[in-house]
Amino acid sequence: MKKSIITQKIIAKAFKDLMQSNAYHQISVSDIMQTAKIRRQTFYNYFQNQEELLSWIFENDFAELINDNLDYYGWKNELLLLLRYLDENQIFYQKIFVIDKNFEHFFLIQWENLLDKVIFDQEKKSAYHWSDLEKSFICRYNAAAICAIAKESIIRGNSLEKLYFQIVKLLLAQIKIFES
pLDDT value at position 142? 95
- Non-local (6+) Cβ contacts of 27 within 8 A are 15, 18, 19, 50
Whether residues 82 and 150 share a domain: the answer is: yes
Q: How far apart are CA 169 and CA 159, in angstroms?
A: 18
Q: Tell me which of 30, 47, 64 is where a domain ends.
A: 47
Q: How confident is the chain (180 residues) per 10-residue block, as mean pLDDT?
A: 81 96 94 97 95 92 76 83 94 91 90 90 86 93 96 96 96 89
Q: How many domains does the chain have?
A: 2
CA angle 77, 78, 80 (to 5 degrees): 65
- Residue 41 shares a structural domain with residue 56: no
> Is residue 129 domain-shared with residue 43, that is, in the same domain?
no
CATH number at residue 22: 1.10.10.60
Domain extent, residue 64, equals: 50-177
Note whether 36 and 57 are same-domain residues: no
- CATH number of the domain to which 100 belongs: 1.10.357.10
Whether 167 and 101 map to the same domain: the answer is yes
Residue 126 DSSP label: S
Same domain, 40 and 56: no
Q: What is the pLDDT of residue 2?
A: 53
Q: Residues 39, 68: one domain?
A: no
| 81 in the same domain as 41 | no
For position 1, what pLDDT does the model report? 45
